[in-house]
Amino acid sequence: MKLPVYLDYHATAPVDPEVLQAMMPYFTEVFGNAASRNHEYGWTAEAAVEKARQQISKLIGATEKEVIFTSGATESNNLAIKGVAEMYQEKGNHIITSTIEHKAILDTCHALEKKGFEITYLPVDRYGQVSAEAVRNAITPKTILVSIMAANNEIGTINPIGSIGKVCKEKGVIFHTDAVQLVGKGHVDVEEMGIDLLSMTAHKMCGPKGVAALYVRRRNPRVRLAAMMHGGGHERGMRSGTLNVPGIVGFGKAAELAGRRMVEESGRIQRLRDFLWEKIQADLDEVYLNGHPNERLPGNLNVSFAYVEGESLMMGMKELAVSSGSACTSASLEPSYVLKNIGVGEDLAHTSIRFGLGRFTTQEEIEFAASKVISTVKKLRDLSPLYEMAKEGIDLKSVNWTGH
């Protein structure tokens, strides 16, 4: 077992050896520019890109012409939102999103607000879900775009994307979803779910970093985007720039593998995740699950360990690579805005740990992780004045704290 045990698959995943193998020739022998239309080198590169487009489109139920390659999901999200905003600004200036989107969505929306767009940030329920009804009620004649994430990167909650897509179709509003965490892990079908734009990335599904895609619907309706990157007119003019051929080939292979293995792999990962959660609950009191109990990513477990601060917890289990919602782990000194928006109090937000399981996570690793977490929490609770007070029956909410 390699230490530290990697349990941060929401951040990124290792490249699958099969993916790497597929990519290798495209760095050296087949190095052509996919846009070189007049010789063999260009044709083979182009053929490889088209094959990847097919593999990726198949994973989300799209056609290959609807896949636009980008440099990362942040770019895909920027292109989707700014591209729609600029293209449809004469139709309206209102965009709907949610309060727990990834920063790539929220910051893009903030930037548009400064340019005169109106943004509605829909609140989420205590599990982190946005209801289709809330979306329906927020739509006005000025609404040009709804952008709601498919699954949350911190708490793993999956949104009712199909119902939201249906409302958007009914109202004739373009629907974008940031599906970075869900694609390759759970069922996504752009036709069935009424999705018009979808962001996805290779490295969350054991593909390489630096390559991602934006699905752009071509029929019913045909979605048009103003380009952010101008140049040689690649990718139907929506994203100029020489294509990252080896990266795209790897992305294609990763999508193919994810699609083929999804059912078996998600089941296996979910069983490991449930095992970890059961172990933790059996040995520790006052542990709280953040996010939805069932409608969540199979590899996500986000837990608040009351009375134990997240950063010190991570420090005590440095054999585990996990992440925390504690303020101390971020540069901002603010605890997670996602936890805050689902109503987790700041005291509990400071105590949260996110475990992210993935393709290469083993039973042995999870057993090791469980015992490490349990022993560290116990050790730190022995050190915690809050745990001591709670055990003495003192209501911590009634204490007059001298906060600073």
Partner 1 sequence: MAYNTKVIDHYENPRNVGSLDKTSKSVGTGLVGAPECGDVMKLQIEIDEKTRIIKDAKFKTFGCGSAIASSSLATEWVKGKTIDQALAIKNTEIVQELSLPPIKIHCSVLAEDAIKAAIQDYIKKNEEKEKLA
Q: Is 168 a catalytic residue?
A: no
User: What is the signed CA dihedral for 126, 277, 266, 97, rounded to 10 degrees?
Assistant: 20
For 38, residues 6+ apart whose C-beta sits below 8 A from its C-beta are none
C-alpha atoms less than 13 angstroms from C-alpha of 151 in its C-beta half-sphere = 26
Instruction: Catalog residues that contact partner 1 under the rule CB under 8 A.
Output: 307-309, 311-312, 315-316, 326-328, 333, 335, 345-347, 350, 382-388, 396, 399, 401-404
Give whichever of 28 and 402 is closer to partner 1, judged by the CB atom. Answer: 402
Contact (CB, 8 A) for 222 and 197: no
Active-site choice (109, 168, 206, 328): 328
In 10 A of CB 71, how many CB atoms? Answer: 17
Helices within 120-244 (DSSP H only): 132-138, 161-171
Give whichever of 292 and 354 is closer to partner 1, judged by the CB atom. Answer: 354
Helix, strand, or coil here: 219? Answer: coil
Contact (CB, 8 A) for 352 and 314: no
Contact (CB, 8 A) for 232 and 8: no
Q: Residue 57: what residue type? A: S
Minimum gap (Å) between residue 375 Cβ and partner 1: 13
Give the separation between CA 259 and CA 27, rounded to whole angstroms. Answer: 25
For 300, residues 6+ apart whose C-beta sits below 8 A from its C-beta are 10, 155, 156, 273, 291, 354, 355, 356, 357
Active site residues: 328
